[in-house]
Amino acid sequence: MFFRTLGVAATQLTLMWRERRLLWLALSVLLLAGASVATSAARLSGQTEERRAVAEEEALLWDSQGVIDPHDAAHVGRAVPAPVRPLAAFDPGLSDFVGTSVFIEGHAQNPARHRPIEGGAALSRFGGFSAAWTLQIVAPLLIILAGFAAMSGEVARTRLRQELAAGASASVLVGGRLVALATAAGLLVIVMIGVSLPAILLQGVSEAELVGLAAIGGAYALYLLVFCAVTVAASALFASARTALVVLLGFWAVSTLLVPRVAPAVTETLAPTPSAPEFRAAVTEEAENGVDGHDPADERLNALRDELLARHQVSDVEDLPVNFRGVSLEFAEENSTATYNRHFEQLYAVYHRQEVLQRAFASISPAVALQPWSRAFAGTDFGAHLTYLRGVEDYRYRLVQTLNQEVAANKPPPGERYHLADIATITRDVVYAPRTVSLSEVAGAQAPNLAILLVWTVLAISLAAASAPRLGRRS
């Protein structure tokens, strides 16, 4: 039975090869996708150099401030550019829709800014066409066009009768055609990744990123296997090739075009996020009046002053062994940072809830499960962006508090209002180190999406297997 299935698959692959229109269409798509990857890789390489230059210039400007009041330096601030993800050439994900740098300063956490989508010319809007988009949208359509008439229609039924008369079982015929379609789909994935690989390698990818690309390829293979099995099942269940095509095109349109676009809108309605002005107002209100609204910042600072005076047994802040201005700056920064962190974490919790709600739509669309997996391993999802934001915030807080501690530890000379210090010297050891997420963490977070893809695969193959008895009766 195994060899008969392979024989049927070989025959079907030969027939598909002779269908030159599909072959040329597939080659055209591969060519366009390859050009898109090459263009994206060149653009990413340019972004890498640009952001490296920005980082060097920001460091130079920061160190060139010279001897000034450390708190003034905290308000001068500096920009921290986001890292460029090499696999964005394959799946850009959200990289064009999130900011590319964060400006850090005292007393505030700023959002990422300079989103590529805001400054692109009309030509850059075609950035959505990528290898990932091709495999998600176009490849399933090619599979449907290649297999919808494999067992339906007059010509196919005539061939089926001949194969059944020769002793082949209906399950062998279904299995052979499924193997043929799956083989073609697998070759498409391999060729697509192969076309993308040289451009990606030129960016100097790490071993972890290559493993991530392999994980992406495996998920796409499962995704396309779902469409292969559904296509074979529909071709076996419907006597008319036209009916099979209409049903399959409807499934394709709903699962690849409609649901992935409707799901975010629905989840935003169910779990809305605050507007930027609302967010800022809530942060300001809490920073000034406390979490419960009955703990003003001035009273908290007065309590801190009284505690210091009592501890050192003095009656005036001028008699303290520390510069109370620096102590108050440390307190204010700690207070505002805790407030911002609390509100940002609440916002991120809403995003996570939206992600969970959106995952429910994967029950009617395998693409909804595939896209987060692909973006996560490419490092172009919101999780990767959030890791960058948290790393920048950690650096901002350490940098600003180092400046405040310098003020607190040094009283200004007699007759001077402020203590002055060399900014480059006191902040030399405060270094920004980009955070990374391990592949095991990514895989753990994306496990539910992989499970959904596996369930889709099992159900689709089961549907194809269940169509075999009907095919035998109909033929």
Beta-bridge partner residues of 113: 101
Measured from the Cβ of residue 253, the count of other Cβ atoms closer than 10 Å reads 12
Residue 470, burial from CB neighbour count under 10 angstroms (0-12, 13-18, 19+) = middle
pLDDT of amino acid 473: 57
- Assign 157 a pLDDT band (cuts: 50, 70, 90): low
Q: What is the dihedral of CA 32, 33, 39, 45, to 10 degrees?
A: -170
Tell whether the model's pLDDT for residue 270 goes beyond 50.
yes
Question: For 284-288, 295-299, 336-340, which range has the lowest pLDDT when averaged over its residues?
Answer: 295-299
Would you tell me how many other CB atoms lie within 10 Å of the CB of residue 335?
Answer: 18
**What are 68-103's pLDDT values in tens digits?**
999 999 999 999 999 999 999 999 999 888 889 999
Q: At what angle do helices 207-237 and 366-378 cross, to 10 degrees?
A: 170
CB atoms within 10 A of CB 366: 29
Q: Cα–Cα distance between 113 and 276 in angstroms, integer? A: 13
Cβ–Cβ under 8 Å, residues 189 and 135 = yes
Is the pLDDT at 475 greater than 60, yes or no?
Answer: no
The domain locations on the chain are: 2-119+128-270+356-474
pLDDT tier, 1 (very low <50, low <70, confident <90, very high otherwise): low
Q: Residue 435 and residue 290: Cα distance in Å, rounded?
A: 31
Could you report the per-residue pLDDT of 181-230, keeping only the tens digit for each? 999 889 888 888 888 888 888 888 888 999 999 999 999 999 999 999 99
Which helix (H) or strand (E) is 203 found in, with range? none
- How far apart, in whole angstroms, are the C-alpha atoms of residue 213 and residue 322? 55
Q: What is the mean pLDDT of the chain?
A: 87
Ranges of H-type helices in 320-419 = 324-359, 366-378, 382-409
Q: Phi and psi of 81, rounded to 5°?
A: -75, 150
pLDDT on residue 123:
35
* CA–CA distance, 468 with 150 (Å, rounded to integer): 13
- List 422's β-bridge partners, or say none: 67
Residue 211's identity, in one-letter code, is V
Among 150-159, 194-203, 281-290, 360-369, the least confident range: 150-159
